[in-house]
Structure 1
Amino acid sequence: MSTAPETATHFRPVPVGLLRGRRPAVPGPAVPAGTGVEVRHPTRLNAMALDPSKIVGTAAADDGEPRGSGHPAGELFVVCDLFRTARVEIVPGSDEVTTTGHCSRPVLARHAASVMRELLGITDGLLVHTEGVDLPPHVGLGSSSATMASVAVAINELYGRPVEARRLIRFLVDNHGEEIDGRSDSLMPVQCIGGSAAAGLIPGSVQVVAGNAVPLLSAGLPADYRIVLAMPADPTEWDAQQSLQEEARHFDDFLRTGRRHAPDIAYRLIHQAWPALLEGEVREFGKLVFDYRFRMGSIKNCSFSHPRLLEFADAIEPAFTNGAADVLGLSSVGPLFFAVTRTEQKVTELFRDAGLRTFAARPWSEGYSVVKSW
């Protein structure tokens, strides 16, 4: 029997600035350490969920608070140097959150600033600006959650870092949302696992976030590896409400994959892939990601993200099987693919021959950084 209608019912729009889920204890009100700060925040590539069946389940309500967006699926991800910049300034004489005229994703920036203001117990007026990689949303880069994370860490920095990193990750997961076309006053509380926030707040270019957004494992990639990203030239353009409706049609497939493969995924991660990665052997980690995406049905489950996703996957599969890439996967539900490789040009050519648009990145281990403060 289909479970998609029941499991999707809690995904309903919420007001911008509504604080949801558990609130970390913060001595307050917080006091600013300056008048402004600019930070840059890296991007995560979501290689795989540890248990995709938990992406479907209803997020738990916390002590009577409005339901958060966190889902206990767990996540294995790679961090790269595609940065999102956030600048936050205190506006004297104001008590409002505003965004600059050329702010990228202004609704998300305003939401993140508003919930952080409430968390910190402050009423200062804040002017927020964000910018990042010129790519459309909903391609698999986690740009929505990275936007909110960059604003949150900037405000946390501006007020002396009163919220500890792990608590801030959980707070951001609970308060995640994505834009609905034509609406500036509400967001869709889409499922969130925690990788984008952890990418900036926890060091390490390969990380594991366990259920309920707990950073669990962190390691680096050897310095000579590069990342090649590839996506269709015509990605589907839709808002969070539309993409979630399409994803809900595949919820039964996510459930089946998780129930069948989650124990094997956990065993291989802990006993094979991660020990090898700590010794500098990337291929074993890559085998787990490849099997999950190409052999356990994940790419098929995510085929709603682009009408040619399965065709592209078949065309680029040799990048891993012929050894050109040590990791080959889809990021989140796609349609963006990525490869971790020592032979960047060879993989790039294979992706382009498949009809994909490519761009390059490097693994990033240092988390977010402060560009300047004043």
Structure 2
Amino acid sequence: MTTPSDAVFGFVPVPVGVIRGRRPVVTASVEPVARGVEVRYPTRLNAMALDPSKIVGTEDRGGNGEAPGSGYTAGELFFVCDLFRTVRVEVLDTTDKVTVTSDCARPVLARHAAEITRSLLGVRHGLRVHTEGVDLPPHVGLGSSSATLAAVCAAVNELYGRPVDARQLVRFLVDNHGEEIDGESGLLMPVQCIGGSAAAGMMRGAVQVVAGQAMPLLSAELPADYNVVLAMPPDPTAWDAAQSLQEESRHFADFRSTGERYAPEIAYRLLHQAWPALLDGQVREFGHLIFDYRFRMGSIQNCSFSHPRLLEYADAVEPVFLDGSADVLGLSSVGPLFFALTRDEFAVAEGFRKAGLDTFTARPWSEGHTLVRSW
């Protein structure tokens, strides 16, 4: 049985439904604008941290699992694609509790998100929550935990007429991020969260930058003829948040070293080269920055804990970028999922398959989360 005293590298398990960090101000009383809503929430592909030295444990945050001032200052560059989570939230008259459906995906996260958003809004209506996600395991690099929390939070906010600003919700979600602990329904592990999964659906833009303190800063669209090809090992590692964090913590010194060495170069190239080129419709300059970060600055080595063959796969997929098939090639978050942006999805998919990876495709997405229906 996990207890709040079971810390991993300074991260202390926290109770489900308890708000941590700062609360956005809700100045007026709110009421539901519908009996129920259905929301679709997109997925982020975390291309790179702007300063990986800031991806550290809570010894830099007071050691109590809370996130003062919206937590981590690493910043993040990410892409958004149309792998959606669907959330339905409806008001219940028969109870004042939050319940989840029997077939709800990630039920502990769904309940946590609904509880903290309901508390933030100052309402006590009973709510029933249902979530459906992408049919992929957690901890492959798609930010599924953060996206589930953000999607439920967005749906509850929609149910009450959007009383909280999107940027404030991003920072609120970063402060209150957590992931499931196997066999534990009452506690979450408050692992690092930079804000990309929340911003992917709260803000518009297929390419986004979240600055330190989880502040959405830049956004843009991609040229319409680009596709996303995703690839992952056929045998991803199955572990819960505590196990994943334990493995990652062994590499925190490497994350610091990479950030201390390369963060100024990353910031310069992003603001003075890659982003201006993107606004002119040129994507490959982004690709060079991301490729160098992942394959030349030590990022993939730092993330090698995510799969025992990650370095082998990385060597095998390099030609997908170097031969020009893809304009962007990267690892998403700490992996082990790779992704590419390309105008030639067939060539890229073939390159990934030759490397021994399972592939699937998606499209860039610029619309943020969408209200599918209300009733």
Q: Provide the residue aligned with 1:139 in structure 2.
A: 140
Question: Aligned AA for 1:259?
Answer: E
User: Aligned equivalents of 2:60 and 2:165: distance in 1?
Assistant: 23
CA separation of 1:283 and 1:67: change in aligned 2, threshold 3 A: closer
User: Aligned equivalents of 2:128 and 2:278: distance in 1?
Assistant: 42
User: Aligned equivalents of 2:16 and 2:104: distance in 1?
Assistant: 17
CA separation of 1:136 and 1:96: change in aligned 2, threshold 3 A: same
Q: CA shift at 1:18, angstroms?
A: 1.1
Would the aligned equivalents of 2:10 and 2:57 in 1 still touch at CA under 8 Å? Answer: no
Question: Aligned AA for 1:23?
Answer: R
User: Aligned equivalents of 1:206 and 1:366: distance in 2?
Assistant: 11
Please list the CA deviations of residues 30-60 of structure 1 after superposition, one character each: whole Å capped at 9, or x if unmatched: 2110110000000000000000000115387
User: Aligned equivalents of 1:157 and 1:194: distance in 2?
Assistant: 20
CA separation of 1:367 and 1:66: change in aligned 2, threshold 3 A: same
Would the aligned equivalents of 2:41 and 2:85 in 1 still touch at CA under 8 Å? Answer: yes
Would the aligned equivalents of 2:11 and 2:65 in 1 still touch at CA under 8 Å? Answer: no
Q: CA shift at 1:29, angstroms?
A: 3.4
Q: Provide the residue aligned with 2:27 in structure 1.
A: 27
Would the aligned equivalents of 2:61 and 2:71 in 1 still touch at CA under 8 Å? Answer: no
Please list the CA deviations of residues 4-51 of structure 1 after superposition, one character each: whole Å capped at 9, or x if unmatched: xxx964311100011000000002432110110000000000000000
Q: Provide the residue aligned with 1:199 in structure 2.
A: 200
Please list the CA deviations of residues 192-215 of structure 1 after superposition, one character each: whole Å capped at 9, or x if unmatched: 000001000111000000001101
**SS in structure 1 at match of 2:21:** coil
User: Aligned equivalents of 1:302 and 1:231: distance in 2?
Assistant: 14
Q: Provide the residue aligned with 1:174 in structure 2.
A: 175
Please list the CA deviations of residues 54-78 of structure 1 after superposition, one character each: whole Å capped at 9, or x if unmatched: 011538769x994467311000000
Q: Provide the residue aligned with 1:285 in structure 2.
A: 286
Q: Provide the residue aligned with 1:10 in structure 2.
A: 10
In the TM superposition, 1:1-374 aligns within 5 A as 9-56=9-56, 58=58, 66-67=66-67, 70-374=71-375
Question: Aligned AA for 2:240?
Answer: D
CA separation of 1:95 and 1:61: change in aligned 2, threshold 3 A: farther
Q: Provide the residue aligned with 2:3 in structure 1.
A: none
**SS in structure 1 at match of 2:58:** coil
Q: CA shift at 1:365, angstroms?
A: 0.4
User: Aligned equivalents of 2:90 and 2:60: distance in 1?
Assistant: 35
Question: Aligned AA for 2:346?
Answer: Q
CA separation of 1:163 and 1:65: change in aligned 2, threshold 3 A: farther
User: Aligned equivalents of 2:67 and 2:276: distance in 1?
Assistant: 37
Would the aligned equivalents of 2:10 and 2:65 in 1 still touch at CA under 8 Å? Answer: no
Question: Aligned AA for 1:116?
Answer: T
User: Aligned equivalents of 1:137 and 1:157: distance in 2?
Assistant: 26
Please list the CA deviations of residues 124-157 of structure 1 after superposition, one character each: whole Å capped at 9, or x if unmatched: 0000000011000000000000001100000000
CA separation of 1:135 and 1:141: change in aligned 2, threshold 3 A: same
Would the aligned equivalents of 1:58 and 1:71 in 2 still touch at CA under 8 Å? Answer: no
User: Aligned equivalents of 2:314 and 2:364: distance in 1?
Assistant: 23
Would the aligned equivalents of 1:28 and 1:121 in 2 still touch at CA under 8 Å? Answer: no
Q: What is the root-mean-square deviation in Å for CA atoms of aligned residues? A: 1.6
Q: CA shift at 1:297, angstroms?
A: 0.3
Question: Aligned AA for 1:219?
Answer: A
Q: Provide the residue aligned with 1:3 in structure 2.
A: none
CA separation of 1:295 and 1:240: change in aligned 2, threshold 3 A: same
Please list the CA deviations of residues 233-282 of structure 1 after superposition, one character each: whole Å capped at 9, or x if unmatched: 00000000000000000000000000000000000000000000000000
User: Aligned equivalents of 2:50 and 2:372: distance in 1?
Assistant: 34
Would the aligned equivalents of 1:352 and 1:358 in 2 still touch at CA under 8 Å? Answer: yes
4+ runs deviating over 3 angstroms:
57-62, 64-69
User: Aligned equivalents of 1:162 and 1:61: distance in 2?
Assistant: 30
User: Aligned equivalents of 1:184 and 1:327: distance in 2?
Assistant: 39
User: Aligned equivalents of 2:252 and 2:99: distance in 1?
Assistant: 37
CA separation of 1:237 and 1:65: change in aligned 2, threshold 3 A: closer
